[in-house]
Structures are given as structure tokens and as C-alpha cells.
Amino acid sequence: MTNQQTPTLQRFGKYLIPHRKTIPVALGFVIFTAIMQGLAPFLIGWSIDNLIAKGNLPGLMQMLLLILAVYLAGFTSIRAQILRINWITQNVLAQLRQDIFTKLQTLPLSFFDTSSAGDLMSRLLNDVSTVNQVFGLAIAQIVGSVFSLVGIAIAMLVVNLQLGLLSNIVIPLVVIITTVFGKLARSKFRVTRQSISELSTRIEEDLGSIREAQLFNRSELNISNFEKLNAANRDANIQAVTITAAFLPTIDVLNTLSVATIFTYGSYLVITQTMTVGTVTAFLIYLQQFFQPLQILSQFYTQAQSALAGLERIFLLLDEPSQLKDANDAIEMPLIDGKVDFENVTFGYKQNQTILKNVNIHAKSGEMIALVGATGAGKSTIINLILRFYDVTKGAIKIDGIDVRQVTQASLRRQIGIVLQDMVLFSGTIAENIAFGNPEATLAEIEAAAKVANVHEFIMTLPQAYDTAVGTRGVSLSQGQRQLISIARAVLINPRIMILDEATSSIDTRTEALIQDAMSKLLKNKTSFVIAHRLSTVTQADKLLVVQQGEILEQGTHAELIAQNGVYANLYSLQFGVDTAVVNN
């Protein structure tokens, strides 16, 4: 076993700790099975020398019944050990899968900025499945084989030291061969795990963009790219299997040589009358039993390289730094009034990177703050910092005078609502989607929120009303309908601060009017931050902030910024084709 494997196995072994009371029971069955396997050949050999040789038929019949009882007891014990060990391993694997999913839920957004969903799905499903196939299905057999091997080796040494030593001499050879083959196999299985991850990523991306692929005539190119990845995965698996395929015949050769050696030398000892036929017979049975667990263990070792490669990838994921942690003395955010302050905030997503530079924003309770500017200017970053998806590099963000780093994230986000331009719906019912932020909401509360969002009437026209399934990501609904449901979701949690990414582009006039009316009701008496793409929707904002290259370039009301005849006035002129000089007059 290499030094690299040891910490991986030790860490996997820690998952057994919760089952420390059950493990001794399973080991008890394993040890009992090993004793039965070691006892049966001894009884057979003893019967040959002491019963068959002397023609003691009654004694032989009694011994046959005893041997049958030994084999039945061993069979029953094997079944019990398999059931018990399998129960333990399946619980361990379920916990491992749960830990991965929990980790994914707590990783910071910065991690997902650089990770593909396909790779993460591969670790959660494919890598755990590989571990399950190797460890979950074979571990009971492996544990039993280890004890059987030890028990049989000891039994052979007890029956005859000379033949026992000769038989056991093969073990070092098996260990050396297994180590060499295992090292080669593991390097190849690492490649297979990586290639299946790349395949999963490709599948996830291509299935999510079939419409775009057909629109831009990319289907043939996508098929070609997938074919290359698929071929790479195939070749990696073929290379790994080629190594393992050469391994078992090598072990079989050792088995044959050992049997031939013991048979030849044992026959010589019988002929020279230095050993009985019963002892040699017992040894041949022992040798057959001896190589059975040895073959299982050796085969398992090479197959386990795939599982170990999967475990390495799993533990690398589990070792990723988790989300921004609450301070040890973090408090629950009191009921928010709505005052928000950015005080000299500087921020970058990566080290030595600056996205926002000395940003100062002061929003009074109930004010509507509009963020305008080109794509990539830093508008979404400002929103992310309010929600504390990231921590500022310098400066502070305060809500009602409290630094957001001093309160728990859950208590902060519980009082902030968000409606994005492309809000995600989940493959459940409409009621479940509206209640996503408040799962304990009653149907009456859900309906009330839907009425505020102007979507209740539409929902009631559906065959199952609020129990209608929306499909994956709300595919059965139009963009406008999804937006109205997301507004209802925000209404239901009744936040004190609202964040809106203008969502009325590419929507028909009637639906846009419904959304605008729903938003106006949603924002009433709340502090709101609106990312504005269409300036016509924010001309009534209490304060417009023009964001450019991470800085607040201009701020003021619509009229004040038009009067300045600066960046905002130019943007307004370009969007509406009006002369700002005329507007000013």
C-alpha cells in the first residue's frame, strides 16, 4: 500500500466509527466462519487416517455428520456476516453521499464560478457509485477472506510445520505482484475517473443548450467533440482493464505451481512413510481454500484502485473551504428597518483583483436605489455583497448600522428578497415554488402572495391550480409567468430589503404591466436595489447610481443626472433618442 493510499483509506475508515458497536458482531461472524473453514479439512484428513484406514464405518458416518454440521454452520455464518457488513457499508456510503451534497450546499459562490455542474454531478453519483461497487458489494467478502486466509495459514502450520511454511512462501510473491499491478491500475483508473467527469460535464452542457446548438448549427460539432471525449474514456478503461486482465492469470499460475509443489512433495513424504495420506489430503484441501481468499483479495486490490481514485476526488471536494463562516460571536439580525450603507468598500473575487473601488452608497429606509451601467461594471457584485455571498476586501457594509459580518448569514438573508431576470423554478408544484423561501406557509398565505403578484388568476386556470407541476426549471411556463411566480415567492417571505434585476425585457406588454404593478406593490415601504437595464423603469427611483469600472461615477435623481449632462444623460439619450438639452429645458 502506497503512502498516498494510506490517508485516503484512513479517512474512509473514520466513517466506520459510528458503527463501532455493530462491527464486533460482524467480526464475530467472520471469525467463526474462518474457524469452520479451518476445521473441516482437518476433520477430513483425520477421518482418512483414523477411520477410513481402519474401516470404522460407524465412526465415519458420525464424522460425516459432524463435517456436514461444520459446513452448514460456516454457510450460515457467512450469510450473517455478509448481511451485517453490507448494512454497515451501505450506511457508510449513504453518509458519504450525504456529506458531498451537504458540502455542495455550503460551498461559496466563488467555488461554483470555476466548477462545472457536470464534474460535481460526477463526484456525487459516478465516484460514489464506483466506491459502492467495489467496497459496498465486496467488502463483506474481503473481510471474510482476510480472516479465512489467516485461519487457513495457521491451520496449515499447526497440522504440519514443514508443508505449512512451504505453502505460505507464496504470500510474499502475491503481495509483490499485487502491489505492482495495483500501482499501474490506479494510475489508469485516475484517468478513467477524470474522463468520466469530463463526459458528464459535456453531457450537462450540451443537453442544456440543444436549442442553441441547433440554432447555430453546432450539432455536428458537438457530436464530434463528444465522440473524442467518449473515445478517451473508452481508451482509459481499456488500458485499466488490460492491466487487471493480466493480473488474475498470474495469480492462477502461482496457485497451480503451489498445488503441484505440495502434491509432489506430499506424495514423496507419503511414499517414504514420513507423512500420512490424510495429512496430505487435508493440505491439498487447505491449499485450495487458501488460494480462494488470496485470489479474491488480490483481485479486489486492483479493482479497489478505481474506488480509491474516486475517493481521492471525493475528499478533494470535501476539503474545499466552506462558505463564509459566521463569526464566533455573530448575533441574529434584528428586524431590519432598511438603512443600507457601503463605507469605502473595495472588493475583488480573486486575490490581487479589484472589482469595486472605494464604493460609498447610503440608502435610507424605504428608498429605491437604481444601479445602472454597462455589463461588467460591478452592479451584480454590489448586490452579492449586500447578501454577503462574499466578504468585502476593505471597508464595510452596514444594515441599520450593523456590519453584515457581525450577524448570522441566515438571519440576514431571511429579511432580504430577490427577484432576478431569469429566476429559477424547481421541478415541483406551483405552490411549492411560491413557498420555496417559507416551506411552512399555508395555502391561504400562498394564494394571498400570488394575488399580490398578479398571478393568482392565471394559476386558477391550470388543471390542478396550485398543485400543477411546473417541470424542470419551470419549462412549462412562459418567462413572464415564471417572473410573476418568483415575485409571489418574494412577497411570501415579506422581506425588508428587496433586490430586483429588471425582468421585463422580451415580455409582452400585458405581462409587463402585470409585473410592474406587482413590483410596485412588492416594493412599497421597502428599501430596494434595482439593477436597471431599461432606464424607463427607474426614472422614479429615489437615487440612481451610475456604476462604471467598479466605481460610483454619478448619483442622484433622474432629473439631477439629466441636468448634469454626464454619463447617465448620454445613456438616456442613446436609449430613447432624445436630446438631453431639450429634456433639461
Q: Which CATH superfamily is domain 10-318 in?
A: ABC transporter type 1, transmembrane domain (1.20.1560.10)
Cα–Cα distance measured from residue 452 to residue 459, given in angstroms and rounded to the nearest whole number: 13
Q: Which residues contact 407 (CB under 8 A, 6 or more apart)?
A: 326, 330, 331, 332, 333
Q: What is the pLDDT of residues 357-387, one digit of tens each?
A: 888 889 888 888 888 887 778 888 888 888 8
Task: Please tell me the predicted confidence (pLDDT) of residue 215.
Answer: 52
Q: Over range 400-429, report the average pLDDT.
A: 81
Percent of the chain exceeding pLDDT 70 equals 74
Strands 394-399 and 402-403 come out as antiparallel
The pLDDT of residue 571 is above 50: yes
Average pLDDT of span 405-410: 86
* pLDDT tens profile 202-213: 766 665 556 556
Q: Which of 43-57, 98-112, 258-272, 387-401 has the highest mean pLDDT?
A: 387-401
Of residues 171 and 564, the one with the higher pLDDT is 564
- Per-residue pLDDT of 336-355, as tens digits, reads 888 888 888 888 877 777 88
User: pTM of the entire structure?
Assistant: 0.60
Mean pLDDT of 553-582: 75
Residue 3's pLDDT is what?
A: 45
Mean pLDDT of 509-514: 67
Confidence band for 39, pLDDT divided at 50, 70 and 90: confident
**C-beta of residue 517 within 8 angstroms of C-beta of residue 345:** no
Contacts of 4 (CB under 8 A, 6+ apart): none
Residue 59 has pLDDT above 60, yes or no: yes
Chain mean position to CA 424: 20
Give pLDDT, residue 1: 45
Range in 95-104, 241-250, 356-365, 410-419 with the lowest mean pLDDT: 241-250
pLDDT at 99: 80
Q: What is the pLDDT of residues 465-489, one digit of tens each?
A: 888 887 666 666 777 778 788 888 8
Q: What is the pLDDT of residues 204-259, one digit of tens each?
A: 666 555 655 655 566 677 777 777 777 777 777 777 767 666 666 776 777 777 77
Reduced to 3 states (helix: H, G, I; strand: E, B; else coil), residue 391 is coil
Most confident segment among 238-252, 449-463, 492-506: 449-463
Mean pLDDT, range 271-299, rounded to an integer: 72
464 Cβ neighbours under 8 A, 6+ residues apart: 429
The identity of residue 107, as a single letter, is L
pLDDT score of 133 more than 70: no
Q: 298 falls in which pLDDT band (50, 70, 90)?
A: low
C-alpha span between 39 and 158 (Å, rounded): 12
User: 3-class SS at 218?
Assistant: coil
Contacts of 205 (CB under 8 A, 6+ apart): 116, 118
Q: Which one is predicted more confidently, 427 or 366?
A: 366
pLDDT digits (tens, 9 = 90+) for 154-167: 777 777 777 777 76
Please give the pLDDT value at position 247. Answer: 66
- CA distances to 30, 146, 297 from 88, rounded to whole Å, are 14, 18, 20
Q: At what angle do helices 277-318 and 23-47 cross, to 10 degrees?
A: 160
Position 261 scores a pLDDT of 76
Residue 418 has pLDDT above 60, yes or no: yes
Mean pLDDT, the chain, rounded, equals: 75
Q: What percent of the chain is predicted at pLDDT more than 90?
A: 0
Q: Could you give the C-alpha distances from 8 to 2, 194, 450, in angstroms and in order? A: 10, 18, 51
User: Based on the number of CB atoms within 10 Å of its own CB, is 450 exposed (0-12), middle (13-18) or buried (19 or more)?
Assistant: buried
Sign of CA dihedral 280, 285, 286, 288: positive
**Which residues face 346 on adjacent strands?**
394
Radius of gyration of the chain (CA): 36
